[in-house]
Chains A and B, each alone.
Chain A
Amino acid sequence: MPKFTLDGREISFDPGETVMEAAWREGIEIPHYCWHPGLSVAANCRMCLVHVESGRQMEMPQLAFDEKKGEYVPTTKPKLQPACQLAAAEDIVVSSTNDEVKTAQASVQEFLLLNHPVDCPICDQAGECKLQDYYYEHQATLKRKLTEPVHKPKGVRFGPTIIYDAERCIMCTRCIRVCDEVAKDHVLDMRERGNKNEIVLAPGRELDHRYTLMTEHVCPVGALTSQDFRFKARVWFLKSGQGVCTGCATGCNTHVDYDPRYGKVYRLRPRDNADVNKYWMCDDGMMTYTRHDTDRLLMPTTGRGDERMPVGEDEALDLAAEKLKAVDASKLAVVLSAQHTTEDNLALAKLAAALGADQLYLAALGGWEGDDILRSDDNNPNRAGATQAAGGVTLKSVDDLLADAQSGAVQGVVALGWASAEQLEELAPLTALDGVVSLTSHVGAFPAVASVAIPVADIFEIDGSFVNDKSMPQAFRPVLAPPTGVDPAWKTISALAGKLGKDLGFQDLQSLRQGLSDAVEAAQ
Chain B
Amino acid sequence: MAVEVKVIKKPGRTIAEQVYIPEIAKGLGFAMGRFFKNTFGPQAKKEIATVKYPEEKVEYPERFRGIHRLTQRTDGSPRCVACLCCSTACPAQCIYIEPAEYDPDDPRYGYERYPSVFMIDELRCIFCGYCVEACPCDAIRMDTGMHMPPSTQREHFLYDKETLLSIPGRDGSYLTANPRHEPGDPTHPGVDRERGH
Q: Which A residues fall within an 8 A CB radius of B?
A: 119, 121-122, 148, 150-155, 157, 165, 196, 230-231, 234, 236-237, 261
B110 at the interface (CB under 8 A from A): yes
Whether A165 and B197, one on each chain, are in contact in the complex, defined by CB atoms closer than 8 angstroms, is no
Q: Contacts A121-B136, A122-B113, A230-B101 known; A150 to B81 CB distance under 8 Å?
A: no
Which interface residue of A148, A231, A236, A261 has the most chain B CB atoms within 10 A? A231
* New contact pairs (14) apart from A155-B109, A157-B104, CB-CB < 8 Å: A119-B111, A121-B81, A121-B85, A122-B111, A122-B112, A150-B197, A151-B189, A151-B197, A153-B110, A154-B109, A155-B104, A155-B110, A165-B110, A231-B113
- Chain B minimum-CB-distance residue to A119: B111
Which interface residue of A119, A150, A196, A236 has the most chain B CB atoms within 10 A? A119
B24 at the interface (CB under 8 A from A): no
- Chain B minimum-CB-distance residue to A164: B110
Query: Bound state CA distance, A504 and B185, in angstroms?
Result: 71
Chain A proximity of B183: nearest CB distance (Å): 9
Interface size of B by CB at 8 A reads 24
Query: Bound state CA distance, A165 and B101, in angstroms?
Result: 14
Name the interface residues of B73-99: CB closer than 8 Å to any CB of A: 81-85, 88, 93, 99
Query: Bound state CA distance, A165 and B112, in angstroms?
Result: 12
- Contact among B88, B110, B193, B197 with A236 in the assembled complex (CB-CB below 8 Å): B88
B25 at the interface (CB under 8 A from A): no
Whether B111 and A234, one on each chain, are in contact in the complex, defined by CB atoms closer than 8 angstroms, is no
- Residues of B within 8 Å of A152, CB to CB, are 191, 193, 197
Chain A proximity of B91: nearest CB distance (Å): 14
11 residue pairs of the A-B complex, CB under 8 angstroms, read A122-B82, A151-B190, A151-B192, A153-B193, A155-B109, A155-B110, A230-B101, A231-B101, A231-B113, A234-B88, A236-B88
B100 at the interface (CB under 8 A from A): yes
Query: Bound state CA distance, A318 and B136, in angstroms?
Result: 59
Query: Bound state CA distance, A36 and B178, in angstroms?
Result: 43
- Chain A minimum-CB-distance residue to B101: A231
- Contact among A121, A155, A231, A237 with B100 in the assembled complex (CB-CB below 8 Å): A231
- Chain A minimum-CB-distance residue to B81: A122
Query: Bound state CA distance, A263 and B82, in angstroms?
Result: 21
Whether A121 and B83, one on each chain, are in contact in the complex, defined by CB atoms closer than 8 angstroms, is yes
- Residues of A within 8 Å of B93, CB to CB, are 261
- Chain A minimum-CB-distance residue to B85: A121
- Residues of B within 8 Å of A119, CB to CB, are 111
Chain B proximity of A55: nearest CB distance (Å): 44
Whether A196 and B197, one on each chain, are in contact in the complex, defined by CB atoms closer than 8 angstroms, is yes
Chain B proximity of A158: nearest CB distance (Å): 13
Chain B proximity of A198: nearest CB distance (Å): 8
- Contact among A150, A151, A165, A234 with B84 in the assembled complex (CB-CB below 8 Å): A234
Q: Is the interface of A mostly helix, strand, loop or mixed?
A: loop
- Chain A minimum-CB-distance residue to B111: A154
Which interface residue of B81, B84, B137 has the most chain A CB atoms within 10 A? B84
Whether B189 and A148, one on each chain, are in contact in the complex, defined by CB atoms closer than 8 angstroms, is yes
Query: Bound state CA distance, A153 and B191, in angstroms?
Result: 7
Q: Which A-B residue pairs are the 10 nearest by beta carbons?
A: A154-B110, A155-B110, A121-B83, A151-B191, A231-B99, A121-B136, A234-B84, A153-B193, A122-B81, A155-B109
- Residues of A within 8 Å of B190, CB to CB, are 151
- Residues of A within 8 Å of B84, CB to CB, are 234, 237
- Chain A minimum-CB-distance residue to B109: A155
- Residues of B within 8 Å of A231, CB to CB, are 82, 99-101, 113
Whether B83 and A122, one on each chain, are in contact in the complex, defined by CB atoms closer than 8 angstroms, is yes
Name the interface residues of B38-64: CB closer than 8 Å to any CB of A: none
- Chain B minimum-CB-distance residue to A261: B93
- Residues of A within 8 Å of B197, CB to CB, are 150-152, 196
Query: Bound state CA distance, A500 and B156, in angstroms?
Result: 53
Chain A proximity of B110: nearest CB distance (Å): 3
Query: Bound state CA distance, A152 and B193, in angstroms?
Result: 7
- Chain A minimum-CB-distance residue to B112: A122
- Residues of B within 8 Å of A150, CB to CB, are 191, 197
Query: Bound state CA distance, A381 and B99, in angstroms?
Result: 35
Chain A proximity of B66: nearest CB distance (Å): 25
Name the interface residues of B132-158: CB closer than 8 Å to any CB of A: 136-137
Query: Bound state CA distance, A119 and B182, in angstroms?
Result: 13
- Chain B minimum-CB-distance residue to A153: B193
Query: Bound state CA distance, A179 and B93, in angstroms?
Result: 41
Query: Bound state CA distance, A155 and B103, in angstroms?
Result: 11
Query: Bound state CA distance, A344 and B136, in angstroms?
Result: 50
- Chain B minimum-CB-distance residue to A157: B104
Query: Bound state CA distance, A234 and B191, in angstroms?
Result: 28
- Residues of A within 8 Å of B112, CB to CB, are 122
Query: Bound state CA distance, A151 and B193, in angstroms?
Result: 9
Query: Bound state CA distance, A119 and B82, in angstroms?
Result: 12
Chain B proximity of A418: nearest CB distance (Å): 30
Chain A proximity of B161: nearest CB distance (Å): 16
Chain A proximity of B126: nearest CB distance (Å): 18
Query: Bound state CA distance, A122 and B99, in angstroms?
Result: 9
Query: Bound state CA distance, A451 and B137, in angstroms?
Result: 58
Query: Bound state CA distance, A332 and B192, in angstroms?
Result: 68
Chain B proximity of A133: nearest CB distance (Å): 18
- Residues of A within 8 Å of B85, CB to CB, are 121
Chain B proximity of A82: nearest CB distance (Å): 29
- Chain A minimum-CB-distance residue to B83: A121
Chain A proximity of B113: nearest CB distance (Å): 5
Query: Bound state CA distance, A154 and B112, in angstroms?
Result: 10
Query: Bound state CA distance, A231 and B110, in angstroms?
Result: 12
- Residues of B within 8 Å of A157, CB to CB, are 104
Query: Bound state CA distance, A165 and B111, in angstroms?
Result: 9
Query: Bound state CA distance, A261 and B95, in angstroms?
Result: 13
- Chain B minimum-CB-distance residue to A195: B197
- Residues of A within 8 Å of B137, CB to CB, are 121
Chain A proximity of B67: nearest CB distance (Å): 23
Query: Bound state CA distance, A236 and B110, in angstroms?
Result: 22
Chain A proximity of B101: nearest CB distance (Å): 6
- Residues of A within 8 Å of B101, CB to CB, are 230-231
Query: Bound state CA distance, A153 and B110, in angstroms?
Result: 8
- Chain B minimum-CB-distance residue to A148: B189
Which interface residue of A121, A153, A196, A237 has the most chain B CB atoms within 10 A? A121
- Residues of A within 8 Å of B83, CB to CB, are 121-122
